[in-house]
Amino acid sequence: MVSRTLLLAVLVLVSCISTVPEVAPLSDVVLIGGPGRGIGRFFQPRAIETLPGLGCIVIDRSGRAQRFDSAGVPQDVWMLPEWSAGHPIDLCRTEEGTLMVADTHYMRIIEFSLDGAEIRRFGEDVGLELVRGIDIAQDGSILVASYGELDRVFRFDRLGNLLSVWGERGDGPGQFLRPEGLAVDHDGTVLVVDCGHHRILRFSLEGDHLQTIGGPGTAEGQFDTPFDIDVVGDGSFVVVDKSGCRLQRFSSDGELLGSVGGIGRRVGRLSEPRGLAVHIGDANPRVLIADTGNHRVVAAALPGAAP
């Protein structure tokens, strides 16, 4: 005879499953890496950036940066200078082809060449806390999302000199609760993943709040712990949902264009994805996702039709 406790547990599980909407898997998928500590393998990859020629560079929790070609074959590997306190969440590429790494738990930015030679570090004495998303504006300034006791966005010039700081913690329309990913749109506005409020906020380069997109939930167009964001060449943008295990694409005005993913280990599914980057120099742009829980990188077609 089935106990009342077991029956109740089954009913609760069925109820939870029924409330989660069906999500189509990612399409045209190519997998890079897999669990392991060897070259070409990953331990919880997080930070990811695309490179010319459809390659990419990935940093995982072992403190390694690995560079891959368009076929997913590893080309180079190098170690971060320090990683015992924590690991980077994001990085971006400069016009000169160097890499700006948000060195999260060391509360600084480090610029590297593609082969891992350190060029400069900055931000250690201006109040940065946990450094999360990073991107570069059209004028060359560097924008960084930071959270801790304060939730703010820092803006530096190309040499690492502080230009301005804006944003604040709170529950208001333009306030943050743990800002994560950050991307500068083609129109110069700044998209920030407001992780704690499960939404995307758009600001001017000077920090004026312009738009709020999404909100908490599991329905399409809502977010469940959004983590990273990137823009597409047509003006749309994509967001990866860590707890929701989804990739969602929006038009520039915030209209949902497509949602794919779903939790799982099979091809086309995701597990706690934390990073993404879009190849925009191609007629058919693709997205690369740091599929953190599955210890791999997923390259796939963008969801939804172009706006």
Which domains, ranges and CATH numbers included, belong to the chain? 24-301 (2.120.10.30)
Tokens of 75: 């080309």
- What is the amino acid identity at position 42? F
What span, in angstroms and rounded, lies between the C-alpha atoms of 60 and 45?
4
**Residue type at 36?**
G
Using 50, 70 and 90 to split pLDDT, how confident is the model at 96?
Answer: very high
Q: Which pLDDT score is estimated for 183? A: 98
pLDDT in tens, 125-164: 999 999 999 999 999 999 999 999 999 999 999 999 999 9
Question: Could you tell me the two tokens for 171?
Answer: 């529950």
- The two structure tokens encoding residue 294: 């599955």
pLDDT at position 200: 98
Strand, helix or coil for residue 302: coil
Q: Which residues pair with 239 in a beta bridge?
A: 229, 248
245 neighbors 272 (Cβ within 8 angstroms): yes
Q: Which of 148, 52, 156, 158 is CA-nearest to residue 104?
A: 148
Query: What would the pLDDT profile of 232-287 be if each residue is shown by its tens digit?
Result: 988 899 999 999 999 999 999 999 999 999 999 999 999 999 999 998 766 678 99
Task: Tell me the average pLDDT across 172-181.
Answer: 95
DSSP states along 216-276:
BSSSTT-BSSEEEEEE-TTS-EEEEETTTTEEEEE-TTS-EEEEEE-BSSSTT-BSS--EE
CB 222 within 8 A of CB 216: yes
Distance CA 229, CA 179 (A): 11
DSSP designation for 24: B
Residue 7 pLDDT greater than 60, yes or no = no
Residue closest to 275 by CA, chosen among 56, 86, 96? 56
Enter the DSSP assignment of 9: H
What per-residue confidence (pLDDT) applies to 259?
97
